[in-house]
Amino acid sequence: MKLLNAIRLGDKTLKNSMVMAPMTRSRANIEGVVSDSTVLYYAQRVSAGLIISEAINISKQAIGSPFTPGIYTTEQVNAWKKVTQVVHEKGGVIYAQLWHTGRVGHSLVKDGEQPVAPSEIAIQGQQHFTMDGMKAYEIPRALEKEEINSIIADYKQAAINAIEAGFDGVELHAAFGYLPNQFLAESANNRTDEYGGNIENRNRFVLEIMQVLVNAIGNEKAAIRISPTSTYNNISHHNPIEQFSSLIHELNKLPLSYIHIMNVPFPADKFPDYPANALEAFGKLTQHTIIANCGYTRETGEAELEKGIAKLISYGTLFLANPDLPRRFELNFELNSPDRTTMYGGQDKGYIDYPFLAE
């Protein structure tokens, strides 16, 4: 199986072509520090060729949901060192996914601070989890230009901290409606300065972040995750093919590790200008290694690799419930079913108690 073949990524050789996708689990403490259970959680899943961490807040301002981890304090960095150490001891490779939620948050989670975004446009038709229950989204505060520069600096420092914590690289979370994705989308960005108004300007924030990440931690250690067809968190694009083709053309100028493409289904009747298959539309445009994501199985993941566009396939829920997923794929063995009630928050149940084959 191609899924089980070793592959070179940057300066690392991955044991197989299966990636553990980033998955928010909300198991950090209120200060954003991960626990010993998190160390075990990642150690259990070290059979993945590459582990991409859950999304990690780059600053206090970046926080959108409670009990999500950070990488901006010494205590947070030291806690992540325990994770990366055990992953490396077991022969694994792990990247940190860097996260700023932007408007996908609530003041009840942010010590009363108003969420920020490119523009004062609230998410409609969804609610956000807070410690006081589900709440309607608030109108975010539009970022000033100086604040944008400060956030880019926060991404740079977070990448430096990630390398100090022992991560092998970093992935910018520019997908699923979070802050970088908000800058890319007309539905969240109606700015008239150099960060909005046309495709080049809407791409600017993401490209400036990627440049500083490369400058901060070196060639082939920075990566990016995009979701060109996702409409989650009220994200929509007038011309996604032109928008993301331009973005990838510019990303081709940078020595990145990979581009992680979420091939998210969408209602075609409401978005007739969207490409039917994001991986095929945009994966062919890049010189970088492509990781494909979104609902792949053993069979569809193998078929995707056979097409030749993607070199790796990332699995989320399947790795959550099957810490030994590559072995199960190898043997074509029955998979554990995920407990969806314990995906976000809670204790060790549904986190580190999924059985291995040997059990």
Catalytic center residues: 178
Q: Could you tell me whether strands 18-20 and 312-315 are parallel, antiparallel, or unpaired per DSSP bridges?
A: parallel
Biggest CA-to-CA distance, the chain: 59
Tell me the C-alpha distance between 32 and 79, whole Å: 10
Beta bridge partners of 18: 313
Sign of CA dihedral 313, 33, 36, 164: positive
Q: Which DSSP string do the residues of 29-48 spell out, in sequence order?
A: -TTS---HHHHHHHHHTTTS
CA-based nearest residue to 14, from 5, 23, 22, 25 = 5
Is residue 102 within 8 A of residue 174, CB to CB? The reply is: no
Residues whose CB is less than 8 angstroms from the CB of residue 269 and which lie 6 or more positions away in sequence, other chains included: none
CA separation for the pair 320, 238 (Å, rounded): 35
Question: What angle is formed at CA 156 by the lines to CA 237 and CA 205, rounded to 5 degrees?
Answer: 25
